Amino acid sequence: MIPNNLICPLCSSPLNVKDKAFVCGGERPHSYDMASSGYVNLLPPGKMKNAKTGDGKDMLRARIEFLSGGYYDVISNRIADHIAETLRGRSSVSIVDAGCGEGYHLCNITSRLEKQFDVSAVGIDASKHGADMGAKSARAKKLPVFFAAGNIFSLPIASRSADVLISMFAPIGGDEAARVLTDDGILVVCASGVRHLWEMRSIISDEPREITKGIKCPEGFEEIDGSRVFDRAFIPDGDTIKNLFTMTPFYHRCPYEGRERLMATDKLDITIEANVAIFKKI
Ligand SMILES: C[S@@+](CC[C@H](N)C(=O)[O-])C[C@H]1O[C@@H](n2cnc3c(N)ncnc32)[C@H](O)[C@@H]1O
C-alpha cells in the first residue's frame, strides 16, 4: 500500500506516484525510483554520512533471523496493545516507525492492529538494506506497510499526518516527532530495560552494567502511559546466540575474550526487559 504522506527529502513537497517512481510537486520536480521490492530511497542524495548511519547488512540479517524466532514478540505485542488502547474508538490509524531496521516489529504491530483498525504504516530507516528487507517481508505477509530509506532527524513524512510515531531501540528526533504527529497523535518509545540480555552481557563482559538510563520525555510532549515488558527465553543453539549478539551494539564494541566466550556457548537463558512509554503533544 502506497502511503499518501510521503514528502520530498529535498523540497518537502508531497510525493505522488508516477509509473514506478515518486515525483514531487516542486517547481523543478525531484524523482525517486521505487525498487523492485517496493521500497523507495528518500535519503537526501549526495550526503556521505547517509552511508554510515544505517545498520549494516550483517546486523540486519542477524536481526531478522533472530526476531523471526518470536523472542521479542512480547515487546511488539505490548506496543500494539498500548496503541490499540490509547486510540480505541478510531477506525483508521496512520503509523510511522522511525528507525524501523528490517521492519519485523512494524509488520508484527501492524498485523495485530489490523484486527481493530484500518492501518496505513510506513517504516523509515537510514539503511537501504533495512528498507528493502522490510518491503519484502510486508509483501510476503500481505501487510499495508510501506518502507523508505530516510533520516529520522529529517523525516520524509508530511507535517501532522501520523497518528502514531514509533521509536524502538532507535535514536529519537523529538522535533520531527512533534512535526509529523497530528495534534492528538502519540509518540511510542521503547528502550532496553535495566537487565535486558543480562545473561549474554555477563558472558561477554566481566563487569556487566545495569541499564539505568530510562526513557526521557522529549520536549513538547508529556507521558500519558507506559509499562515494563519482562520475559525470559531459552535460546537452544549457538547460531541463534550468534544472531542475537550480531544484532546488538555489542557486536561492534566487545572485547575479544568476551566474544570468544559467547561464541563457545551453545544454549542460553536470557532476560528480555524493555520499557515502553507513550507520549502526547502538550
Ligand atoms: C538498534 S536498531 C533498531 C531497529 C528496530 N527498531 C528494532 O527494534 O529492531 C536502530 C536502527 O536505527 C537506524 N538509524 C540510526 N540512525 C538513524 C537515522 N539518523 N535515520 C534513520 N535511521 C537511523 C539504524 O539503521 C537501525 O536500523
Q: What is the pLDDT of residue 50?
A: 52
Across-strand partners of 267?
none
- Residue 124 belongs to a domain: yes
Grid cell listed for 240: 541463534
Cα–Cα dist 136/134, whole Å: 5
- Residue 3 belongs to a domain: no
Tens digit of each residue's pLDDT (9 = 90 or more) over 50-67: 555 667 888 899 999 999
Does the beta carbon of 249 lie inside 6 Å of ligand 1? no
Taking Cα atoms as reference points, which of 24, 22, 21, 1 lies closest to residue 11? Answer: 24
Does the beta carbon of 170 lie inside 6 Å of ligand 1? yes
pLDDT band at 282 (very low <50, low <70, confident <90, very high): very high
By most ligand atoms within 8 Å of CB, the mutation choice from 48, 71, 152, 167 for ligand 1 is 152
Q: What is the pLDDT of residue 222?
A: 97
- Residue 103 belongs to a domain: yes
**pLDDT higher than 50, residue 170:** yes
> How far away, in angstroms, is 98 Cα from ligand 1 center?
7
Does the beta carbon of 173 lie inside 6 Å of ligand 1? no
Rounded average pLDDT over 222-239 = 97
Q: What is the pLDDT of residue 83?
A: 98
Of 51-55, 74-78, 217-221, minimum mean pLDDT range: 51-55
Tally of domains within the chain? 1
Instruction: Tell me the torsion sign for CA atoms 186, 172, 61, 276.
Output: negative
Q: Mean pLDDT of all residues in the chain? A: 94
Length of the chain measured in residues: 282
Amino acid 217 reads C
Nearest alpha carbon, ligand 1 atom 16: 53
> How far away, in angstroms, is 163 Cα from ligand 1 center?
20
Does the beta carbon of 125 lie inside 6 Å of ligand 1? yes
Does the beta carbon of 174 lie inside 6 Å of ligand 1? no
Nearest alpha carbon, ligand 1 atom 24: 54
Cα–Cα dist 189/187, whole Å: 6
pLDDT band at 48 (very low <50, low <70, confident <90, very high): very low
- Residue 126 belongs to a domain: yes
- Residue 217 belongs to a domain: yes
- Residue 226 belongs to a domain: yes
Of 7-16, 54-63, 157-166, minimum mean pLDDT range: 54-63
Q: Are strands 118-125 and 92-98 parallel, antiparallel or unpaired?
A: parallel
- Residue 5 belongs to a domain: no
Tens digit of each residue's pLDDT (9 = 90 or more) over 259-279: 999 999 999 999 999 999 999
Grid cell listed for 30: 525531484
Q: What is the pLDDT of residue 194?
A: 96
Does the beta carbon of 156 lie inside 6 Å of ligand 1? no
Cα–Cα dist 96/6, whole Å: 11
Q: Which atom of ligand 1 is nearest to the CA of 54?
A: 25
pLDDT band at 76 (very low <50, low <70, confident <90, very high): very high
Burial of 249 (0-12, 13-18, 19+ CB in 10 A): exposed
CATH code, domain carrying 186:
3.40.50.150
By most ligand atoms within 8 Å of CB, the mutation choice from 127, 147, 154 for ligand 1 is 127
pLDDT band at 46 (very low <50, low <70, confident <90, very high): low
Does the beta carbon of 99 lie inside 6 Å of ligand 1? yes
pLDDT band at 223 (very low <50, low <70, confident <90, very high): very high
By most ligand atoms within 8 Å of CB, the mutation choice from 53, 60, 180 for ligand 1 is 53
pLDDT band at 49 (very low <50, low <70, confident <90, very high): low
Cα–Cα dist 60/63, whole Å: 5
Question: In which domain, by residue range, is 204 found?
Answer: 15-281
Tens digit of each residue's pLDDT (9 = 90 or more) over 88-140: 999 999 999 999 999 999 999 999 999 999 999 999 999 999 999 999 999 99
- Residue 139 belongs to a domain: yes
Q: What is the pLDDT of residue 44?
A: 84
Nearest alpha carbon, ligand 1 atom 13: 99
pTM of the model: 0.95
